[in-house]
Structure 1
Amino acid sequence: MIRRGKQALLLAGLALLAAIGIFAYGWFGPGPLEKEHSFLVRSGSTLRTVAADLEKAGAISSADSFLLRARFFGSDAPIKAGEFLLPEGASASRVLGILQGGEVLRRFVTIPEGMPSIMVHERLMAEPLLTGTIPVPEEGSVLPESYDFERGESRAAVLKRMQAAMTATLKELWAKRGPDLAVKTPEEAMILASVVEKETGKPAERRMVAGLYSNRVKKGMMLQADPTIIYPITKGKPLGRRIRQSEIQAVNDYNTYTMTGLPKGPITNPGRESIAAVLNPAKTSALYMVADGTGGHAFADTLEQHNANVQKWFALRRERGEM
């Protein structure tokens, strides 16, 4: 009898250990996710509501089993709000750990330097993970940069951050401005910076181009910047063809071939470096520039020098078969 009793206790103990093992395996063993999955925890969610969402997403087998095992094996740390990346086959233990202390998944929308506001609007509206609608922002109000956002965040909130960044950047750079500038206000600096941004693709040229245009403003000369012809036609989008003579001669508030001084407003969203260049331009006597075939420009102090540079540019274009 005693021997049978010991055997029964042993069997009961083994059964208990097996049950504990199965119970633990359901927590630490591989989970049912067949592929990597992004999972959103909304602000104010409880572990119970999150467990139900995890079950619907196929990240765990059972919400009730998950909650029960979490009570025995899990940490007391709160779950975070945000979007998380759950790996393929993640155990229930790992899932909870990610939601409690993992890195929130960061998503970005990038506004390149020189992107006009109409295209900023299109980019934000095309982002499927953002919500709501926005108007086309004021030209020059958005700082070109990469901005992170959360799934389901409003476009208005993201745009507000972009505009706040531009306001702060302009304020910072204006406070560091050099002496004897051609621009007298932050608004004028933004306008000229937008012209500089569109006129050169070479970062090293920005201060030189800013110096040249500053000289023209001070002398009361026309800026004669091609992008100011295009802006009223396309709102800053690429023209897709050569500028027509009638467009060069058009009289409006932007075309600097038919007016002296600055356009009435920015023609794009300039980057930080273009704004800085306008507020600390190169000390130069240059008044003219023309493309040099490398993506940059040849600069000249006199019209005679400029005409010689133009002839070199035309000769280069003829060699390339462009004329």
Structure 2
Amino acid sequence: MWRSLASNMLTILIVGLFLFAGVILWGKNEYSSEGPLSEAICFQVPSGTNMSRVSRKLEEDGAVSSSSIFRIGVKYSDKAQDLKAGSYLVEPGASMESIIDTITRGGASTCGTEIVYRVGVTRVLAEVRELDPATNSFVERAEFVPGVDETPAVYTEKKAEADTRYRIALAEGVTSWQVVESLKAMDVLEGDPGRRPAEGSLAPDSYEVRPGTSREAVLTEMKDRQDKRIADAWEARSSDAAVESPEEMLILASIIEKETAVADERGVVASVFTNRLNRGMRLQTDPTVIYGVTKGEGVLGRGLRQSELRGVTPWNTYVIEGLPPTPIANPGLESLVAAVNPEQTDYVFFVADGTGGHAFAETLEEHNRNVAKWRQIEAERNNN
């Protein structure tokens, strides 16, 4: 009898162990396999919440099949203390494992509201936009010029929300004065920006910021990025470069940046200036003359006068030989690379072609024909 009872108990124990192992395997599969979510959602993790409340909300939103398995997975992955407040894009079919990684990894939120300050050559524009999870594209809620336009209510509303993200998008070709003045207009930043950075020393790029970030810290990050770009571009220079130092490269790159907004033209424009420098010709470029008039403080807003084209300034390349003494704007990486890796051409002239690009020429005769075409296009536009 005792032998039979012991045999039955052993059988029950073995069956129980198999069932327990099966449950564990099922749980592991549920944890790592495709989740039940059919459409992307923007999942918010409020500040001060805990993983237990997060797991229940995920189950309510249909993102996980079991909040209990989710919590067990969090425990065994040892990520319970790594929960980060923010708004996160949860993709269709996301597994519990991937969701845990998303909400504990840290860094910027991946969905929700974003306020972007776009610093352009003519103005700074603030945009309030939200990511639509269904299309994974941004929907614009409002835009305005800080310090000029009336502040939209949605901007004030979203600034009060803890998970709103902030980004500064710095365009190629802006001057250091424009950058500093733009940062002053951004009420999400704090502090005095300090001394204006040297022209050309700031990297056009996208910068994530947080409320309370100091203006000086933003400028420091911009300078650090530009320093690295300058060093990398100079290291990769070709033997065809006409400039003899990183400083000269930066000056030439700023001129290239201001002369063309067409990415594919940068290397050709660089070749024109390289050929002119090698032949001892003056650069004769209008953007340098404009900088001599404005010193980079604002936009000229009109055509150059003949007196300005003839006027002597350190930046008037119709008068001076070679490069001006300083950059005339903050060039992007592509212009830095073009300045020391020009295309191989015999062009020494170029003029606008009416399409946003330029017509290039090797001879003065050819250039004069291109200029005549451009003047005809201008005249037709003025008559319409």
In 2: Cα distance, 1:100 partner to 1:155 partner: 29
In 2: Cα distance, 1:180 partner to 1:141 partner: 24
2:224 is matched with which residue?
Answer: 164
What is the root-mean-square deviation in Å for CA atoms of aligned residues?
A: 2.9
In 2: Cα distance, 1:149 partner to 1:218 partner: 44
Q: Check whether the contact 1:84–1:103 (CA below 8 A) recurs between aligned residues.
A: no
The within-5 A match list for 1:299-314 is 299-314=360-375
In 1: Cα distance, 2:383 partner to 2:333 partner: 34
2:336 is matched with which residue?
Answer: 275
CA shift at 1:150, angstroms? Answer: 1.7
CA shift at 1:78, angstroms? Answer: 4.0
1:148 to 202, 205, 208: 208
The within-5 A match list for 1:67-86 is 77-78=80-81, 84=86
CA shift at 1:176, angstroms? Answer: 0.8
Which has more radius of gyration? Answer: 1
- Does the residue aligned with 1:290 lie in a helix, a strand or coil? strand
Residues 264-292 of structure 1: per-residue CA shift (max 9 Å, x gap) = 00000000001111111010111111111
1:157–1:103 Cα change, 3 Å: closer
1:189–1:224 Cα change, 3 Å: same
In 2: Cα distance, 1:215 partner to 1:322 partner: 37
- Does the residue aligned with 2:382 lie in a helix, a strand or coil? coil
1:156–1:255 Cα change, 3 Å: same
2:187 to 128, 133, 144: 128
1:292–1:161 Cα change, 3 Å: same
1:100–1:182 Cα change, 3 Å: closer
1:38–1:183 Cα change, 3 Å: farther
1:196–1:77 Cα change, 3 Å: same
In 2: Cα distance, 1:189 partner to 1:101 partner: 40
1:212 matched to 2:279? The reply is no
Q: Check whether the contact 2:240–2:342 (CA below 8 A) recurs between aligned residues.
A: no
1:38–1:120 Cα change, 3 Å: farther
Structure 1 unmatched ranges of 5 or more: 1-35, 42-46, 52-73, 87-96
1:319 is matched with which residue?
Answer: 380
Q: How many residues align?
A: 249
- Structure 2 counterpart of 1:206, one-letter code: R
Q: Check whether the contact 1:109–1:146 (CA below 8 A) recurs between aligned residues.
A: yes
Which has a greater percent of strand?
Answer: 2
CA shift at 1:239, angstroms? Answer: 1.0
Q: Check whether the contact 1:170–1:186 (CA below 8 A) recurs between aligned residues.
A: yes
CA shift at 1:101, angstroms? Answer: 6.7
2:283 to 215, 220, 223: 223
1:121–1:37 Cα change, 3 Å: farther
Residues 223-260 of structure 1: per-residue CA shift (max 9 Å, x gap) = 11101111122233321111111111111111101111
TM-score, normalised with respect to structure 2: 0.59
- Structure 1 counterpart of 2:250, one-letter code: M
Residues 129-160 of structure 1: per-residue CA shift (max 9 Å, x gap) = 11111132210000100011121111111111
CA shift at 1:104, angstroms? Answer: 4.2
1:310–1:104 Cα change, 3 Å: closer
Q: Check whether the contact 2:166–2:210 (CA below 8 A) recurs between aligned residues.
A: yes
1:104–1:319 Cα change, 3 Å: closer
Q: Check whether the contact 1:116–1:235 (CA below 8 A) recurs between aligned residues.
A: no
1:178 matched to 2:238? The reply is yes
The within-5 A match list for 1:10-25 is none
TM-score, normalised with respect to structure 1: 0.70
In 1: Cα distance, 2:251 partner to 2:105 partner: 46
In 1: Cα distance, 2:87 partner to 2:189 partner: 18
2:253 is matched with which residue?
Answer: 193
1:256 matched to 2:317? The reply is yes
In 1: Cα distance, 2:178 partner to 2:301 partner: 15
Q: Check whether the contact 2:272–2:348 (CA below 8 A) recurs between aligned residues.
A: yes
1:293 matched to 2:348? The reply is no
In 1: Cα distance, 2:319 partner to 2:45 partner: 55
